[in-house]
Amino acid sequence: MLKPNFKEAKKRTKEDIKVLREEYVVPESVKEIGKGKKYFIKTYGCQMNEHDSEMISAILEDMKYTKTDTYEDADLIILNTCAIRENAHNKTFGMLGRIKHLKQTKPELMVALAGCMSQEESVVDEIISKYKWMDFVFGTHNIHKLPEILEEHLNTKKLEVNVWSNEGNVIEGIPAKRDSSIKAWVNIMYGCDKFCTYCIVPYTRGKQRSRMPEDIISEVKDLISKGYKEVTLLGQNVNAYGKDFKNKDYKMENLLEDVAKTGIERVRFVTSHPWDFTDNMIDIIAKYDNICNYIHLPVQSGSSRILKLMGRRYTKESYLELYKKIRNKLGENASITTDIIVGFPGETKEDFSDTLALAEECKYDSAFTFIYSPRQGTPAASMEDNVSLDEKNERLYKLNDVINKYAKEANDKLVGKVVKVLLESVSEKDSSMLAGYTDTMKLVNVKADKKYIGKIVNVKILEAKTWSLDGEIDE
């Protein structure tokens, strides 16, 4: 049994990060173990988790499992979990309650916990004491070990806990079964060293470690050869890409330029921390047409006092300076979105009005807004919090009103204009429509024939809603 350990997870040594290329192996004894069996994966949380699930799928299919979208039909259920806020936790435990019932009628069913919650000591302790009926637990650092963990469990028939809390290496060669054949996630780095005081990610995802540029570029080239139109470069703090390289000076701006030069039709990247956003990066984004004019720039709070308590390393003023620089260089047509937390411990009415004022000033295209959720083991969890939940809810509503107003305003400006949309799928709302995104990440529903799926087309915008646009093909 290998349990997670937050003390270990917090450590950042000077030890070299290794790139390991031969670590993924499927032992002979489990090569056919999934023949005639089905797996179901439930993914919670961010894009990183979605991409991890694509890898877990490919690994299971290497063992001959086939996919099902109905968990009741599955022989193996994997919950790929998120730890960022309490409600993500609650959803997972709710799902485990339902699965427990299923397992009572289907004793052969195997159930596993993966993802960020697996990296939390308290969660794993709870699984060991109250969820003994589960089959195995693995973490974010050892997805590639899934075949061996499964093999071990099949030998012992006991709950197998195998979670690493080391700083982590870069593992190459893990296959991925991508959900889309049009756009793809590409990891460029793992982990985070920023340690914002509210955030669990540096503990669950480990030390910041960048993939080698040549591995990223060859993955992008391979995706182009398979017909992919768009890649999203993924990391918790992509602007810090390359800072961990000891022997070369190669940063996010270099990577963005090299990825743009591959000729892929669209390049996106998430998530940016304002701290590492350089002028050169803005210039590169402006220079290349295939780098999308879409920047997700989390601000978290509009109060410099709260930003300091959050350990964000910038002030309201320096954030606004960066924001304006981006707007000026990329033009009014670029879209900028953000993340905001309300109700951080000790947030006063004045602090919150600073956040509202900042949202009014930035007029974001959209934003993810959250109520602060204490995460065990993080510094903010032990800060005194005297703001009531009612008050926090009220602040969230007020903030959302401002965010929604400007989201609608940004969409209204597009009515009558012709924009380029990458059509991806049949619209969820109306099966006679196709859905896709502009390079500025606006969702557009278009009345169009299915032959346009996978194509970037000119669309005339007819109507704006708060979170989407309707349009028609403009040939």
Contact flag: residue 338 with ligand SF4 (CB under 6 A):
no
CA neighbours within 13 Å on the CB side: how many for 338? 25
Which of 237, 303, 355, 366 binds ligand SF4 (CB under 6 A)? It is 237
- The residue among 187 and 300 lying less far from ligand 5AD, judged by its C-beta, is 300
Contact flag: residue 236 with ligand SF4 (CB under 6 A):
yes
Contact flag: residue 273 with ligand SF4 (CB under 6 A):
yes
Minimum CB distance to ligand SF4, residue 101 (Å): 35
Q: Residues near 377 by Cβ (< 8 Å), separated by ≥ 6? A: 6, 120, 121, 200, 203
Contact flag: residue 202 with ligand SF4 (CB under 6 A):
yes
Contact flag: residue 192 with ligand SF4 (CB under 6 A):
yes
Measured distance CA(13)–CA(141) in Å, rounded: 17
Q: For residue 93, which phi and psi values (nearest 5 degrees)?
A: -65, -30
Q: Which of 247, 240, 244 is nearest to 269 (CA)?
A: 240
- The residue among 74 and 367 lying less far from ligand 5AD, judged by its C-beta, is 367
Return the sign of the alpha-carbon dihedral for residues 402, 408, 412, 413: positive
- The residue among 297 and 410 lying less far from ligand 5AD, judged by its C-beta, is 297
- The residue among 198 and 364 lying less far from ligand 5AD, judged by its C-beta, is 198
Instruction: Report whether 220 contacts 259 (CB < 8 A).
Output: yes
SS3 182: coil
The site for ligand 5AD (CB under 6 A) is made up of 84-85, 198-199, 298, 300, 339, 341, 370, 372-373, 375
- The residue among 298 and 454 lying less far from ligand 5AD, judged by its C-beta, is 298
Neighbour count for residue 158 (Cβ, 10 Å): 12
Contact flag: residue 276 with ligand SF4 (CB under 6 A):
no
- The residue among 195 and 250 lying less far from ligand SF4, judged by its C-beta, is 195
Minimum CB distance to ligand 5AD, residue 366 (Å): 14
Contact partner, 341, from ligand 5AD, ligand SF4, none, Cβ < 5-8 Å per class: ligand 5AD
Minimum CB distance to ligand 5AD, residue 454 (Å): 30
Minimum CB distance to ligand SF4, residue 273 (Å): 5
Contact flag: residue 374 with ligand SF4 (CB under 6 A):
no
Q: Show contacts with ligand SF4 in window 5-64 (CB under 6 A).
A: none
Q: For residue 271, which phi and psi values (nearest 5 degrees)?
A: -110, 150
Rounded alpha-carbon distances, angstroms, from residue 454 to 108, 224, 234, 437, 467? 41, 13, 22, 11, 22
Residue nearest to ligand 5AD (CB): 339
Measured distance CA(59)–CA(65) in Å, rounded: 9
Q: For residue 5, which phi and psi values (nearest 5 degrees)?
A: -145, 115
Minimum CB distance to ligand 5AD, residue 135 (Å): 30
Q: Residues near 321 by Cβ (< 8 Å), separated by ≥ 6? A: none
Measured distance CA(87)–CA(102) in Å, rounded: 23
Task: Tally DSSP H helices, then E strands, for the chain.
Answer: 13, 21
Contact partner, 39, from ligand SF4, ligand 5AD, none, Cβ < 5-8 Å per class: none
Contact flag: residue 195 with ligand SF4 (CB under 6 A):
yes
Q: Which of 382, 20, 368 is nearest to 166 (CA)?
A: 20
Give the binding site for ligand SF4 (CB under 6 A).
192, 194-196, 199, 201-202, 236-237, 273
